[in-house]
Amino acid sequence: MANMNTKSGLGKTSGVASVRALDGGIRGGPVCRQSWQARWTADILRVSAKVSLRAAARTRADTGRALLVIRRMADFAAPLFQRLPPHAQVVPADCDGVSGEWVRAGTGLDESKVVLIFHGGGYFSLSAAAVRPLTWRLSEAARRPVLAIDYALAPENDLPAARADALTTYRWLLADGFRPEDITLAGDSTGGHLALATLLAVRDEGLPLPAAVVAVSPWADLTPDGPRHRGNAGTDAFFPPRFLPWLARCYTRGCDPSDPLISPVNGDYAGTPPMMLVCSDAEALRDDARRVAERARDAGVRVRYDEWPGQVHDFPAFAGLIPEGRQAIIRIGAFLLETDSVGGSAS
């Protein structure tokens, strides 16, 4: 990977940080130590999101109602993240019945390319608009439009409904004239899960494969054994230990949780396009990201894996607050530009 010490408001650093990369051991990265903004964000999440999620996981009442309560809390905070800078713009999108928004930032964008991105939120909350701190910066860094969609959410819908919306949008892009080699699938947190599941579904259905896949802090293992593989389950600043197993049980009733479309950590990635995974070494989902990266690499996929020190879960989504999140997005944009330049074989 090229050295990308791009200015991003990180301030002074002493030395060079460690950003893990599967294909080359430890590589120098742009961050040396956890910023005060990252520490502050982690502290806020511990007394807000983590407390709320802990209460939900302990509920013995209707799980659907618990999810709706958390959704209302997330929706209350979401408008704080939806503002755009003057050089960014949003246009509503109707993707064959799936709503969303086109996000463009910067100049000289390549309109023949697109990042199709799926937002996080546990599959029960948030929206395309809620991840604008990520989407407009990604458009600027990757020099192309970003299409964020509002896929079907729980508890009103199940996981296959969200995947169906993702596939509908992918087909719509192909029908609209985008070449598959000009489409990137991306997502953060549960959106990362959806990006990986959509990739596998695209391949299984015989559709042409996209150019690349980017998954930020993906939730990739929904099996009952998933918690055994998570070394940071007790220390994550966002997720309490019981929450992810509880949420997985909510979504896997009546289905096989080991199905790769439900747990992409079990996927066969042979023949799939270059992949970039980004996570924190301090989050509960680090091992989900690491296992997907290792599985894809072992299947012959060109994988870039960035493991950032001391960050919160899905820190690029907090790019408006955390300078490391901004730098991570710059690195994702560079990965996509590099993938373009070598025809889908980024190294």
- Catalytic positions, please? 189, 283, 313
3 state SS of 266: helix
269 CB-contact burial (10 Å; exposed 0-12 / middle 13-18 / buried 19+): buried
User: Phi/psi at 55 (nearest 5 deg)?
Assistant: -65, -40
Among the listed residues 168, 186, 233, the one whose alpha carbon sits nearest the alpha carbon of residue 339: 186
Q: How distant, in Å, are the alpha carbons of 10, 20, 314 from that of 328?
A: 12, 13, 11
Q: Are 155 and 67 in contact (CB under 8 A)?
A: yes
Scanning the structure block, which residue is given the tokens 């990180």?
Answer: 10
Q: How many C-beta atoms surround the C-beta of residue 118 within 10 A? A: 32
CB atoms within 10 A of CB 92: 9
Q: What is the DSSP letter of 17?
A: E
d(CA 216, CA 346): 18
Extract the tokens encoding 241.
Answer: 């230990």
Angstrom distance (rounded) from CA 27 to CA 214 = 19
CB 222 within 8 A of CB 263: yes
Residues 185 and 26: their CA atoms lie apart, in Å, by 26
Q: Which of helix, strand or coil describes residue 95?
A: strand
